Amino acid sequence: MIANNARIITFILAFVSPSLAFTTSSAPAQKTQLQLSTSDEGSRRSFLTNVVATAAVLPSLVLSNPSSASAFGFKADDKGPLVYGDDSIMSPKEHGTTASPVQPDLRYGVSNKLADKISSYNRVFAEMGGYWEGTSFENDVRNLVASNGGPVTFYDSVSGKPLFVAPKGRSVDDFIEESKIHGWPSFRDEETVWENVRVLKSSGETVSTVGTHLGHNLPDRSGNRYCINLVSIAGNPTSQ
């Protein structure tokens, strides 16, 4: 239980803090390091806001029911159709936890180098909080919703399989606003393509069925909320 709670705290801190940057050495197999970037006062205020918001759900995840603390999220008979997966999904493969690197022409102007580290050589840490705001993500999403009159599909950066379709059941403004509040693109159950997405019971880690690390499930009062790295869902559709 103590070891599992330590994992919980580790990934919670990685996701609520905009000042945590994921870096590795040039050789992906070498030891991964966390680097603390210099933050301004605004970043520190944002960090504290996210800590408070996340702390509100921690008791229900960790303390209220110790016998089931390793199972993250609302199940299908509660508040969502969450589909759990086994840790074996993330077993070592030819390229970290995936069989191949990320696609060479990722969307939204994201960094391929960062995408490969986060998606295939990482189980806990994340891109910088607010990273997506420095990309074309918001403009692209708003333009696509306006032109198509419907949601946008987000694809696995490795396999090109559809992972999320958003916004659904809310406006594009609400989707963008929630993503800004938390620092990462945030999806709900009805926006998740469960054919290709799984949540690991041991940690709440949210992954694709091909082994791509996507982010974590951090439920709130509205239900499951999937806090996802943009670099992991910036792929292009494939015919496979």
Mean pLDDT of 157-166: 98
Q: Is the pLDDT of residue 164 over 70?
A: yes
Q: Is the pLDDT of residue 26 over 80?
A: no
Q: Rounded CA gap, 145 and 156, in Å? A: 20
User: What is the tens place of the pLDDT at every residue in 191-219?
Assistant: 999 999 999 998 999 999 999 999 999 99
Q: Rounded CA gap, 6 and 24, in Å? A: 22
87 vs 14, higher pLDDT: 87
pLDDT of 156:
98
User: What is the tens place of the pLDDT at every residue in 67-124?
Assistant: 233 345 655 444 557 999 999 999 999 999 999 999 999 999 999 999 999 999 999 9
pLDDT of 81:
79
**Read out DSSP for 202-228?**
TT-EEEETTS-EEEEE--BTTB--EEE
Mean pLDDT of 219-231: 94
